[in-house]
Structure 1
Amino acid sequence: MTTPARPLRADAAHNRALLMAAAESEFAERGATASIADIARRAGVAKGTVFRHFATKEDLIAAIIGEHLRALSVVARQLLEAADPGAALLEFLTVAADKQQRRDLSFLQALTESDPTVGELREQLHEEVEQLVARARRSGAVRSDISGTDVWVLLCAPIHAVGYLANPAPDLWRRYLALIFDGLRPEGAHPLPEPAPDWP
């Protein structure tokens, strides 16, 4: 396990949050090629200020992805206490898609594969998704051959589906999430042609 970081002073925490918000905007607009100079300019600070918080661009990307994973973990843990396991799983998928719809930074995930903190957070969230799916399976809300990894793979699917359209309506992704969730239900299910993938 990594050693917990010491809490930042209020002003330092504010500057860090400002930089991360500026970086998210730059990455969303320019892709992974957005530079530290671009990010510093948007945040209204010098490049040196960025490097005081994040030693490398990769560290900044890892911090952004880590925050997104932590936020989803909070939601997942809350929903594990919900009375209706099927509704809880659907709510989790809805929150995950909504967060991505607001700002899709999924393309940055591949750049964090070697970061140990992000790896731990990803493992934790995957385990929580497994638990949400297991509860939904036991309640009969989803088919018995659905795994947590199946659902993990589908987290980005509603947003990617509407990405093929030139000008999708803001909430059109909800239509495809409904189609996906209907496919998880046991009613009318047919045997799947391949087994569920292993979690790497």
Structure 2
Amino acid sequence: MTTRTTDVPPTPGDPRRSWLREHSELGVCVMLLALGVLVLTDALTMDVEITQRGPVGPKTVPVVVGIGLLVIAALLAVDVLRGGRGEAEGGEDIDLSEPADWRTVSLLAGVFLGAAVLIEPLGFPIAGALLFWGAAFTLGSRRFDRDPLIAAVLSLVTYAVFNNLLGVPLPGGPLMGVL
């Protein structure tokens, strides 16, 4: 009498699980593929005014980036399936046997989400300063005399460059009239 093994979940010694572990870089391929499709979909459905000043319109760069992501995903998948593996850098000091530091990852995600929520009511200079200082604090810097000052200067310079020099309008918030 034979038993069906298709209904049995994979065990730790299962060859399917081993194959996936050996080809884990395919996860990066899937992510690049999804990102490329998202960028292309967004670029091709973008509402753009008919008038443009040159041969390169606002859709050109996103389309090129989306196509590039798809090509890189395909090339990486072919390389991985042919046996290629990513090699760790010689100078990397990461111990892969240690678990991930989810506290730091969660705090950084919270800092980024907080900045995204605060950018509209407070403006980029304040939200950006909170973002830069929060990231520095989360990553271990405890220089309370220096870090907020560096974060404020970095945020103001970034705001001035994008808003005034590059012509990319950022929300100014309460500082709109000052800068």
TM-score when scaled to structure 2?
A: 0.28
TM-score (norm 1): 0.26
More helix by share: 1
**RCO comparison, higher one (Cα < 8 Å, 6+):** 1
Pair member with larger Rg:
2
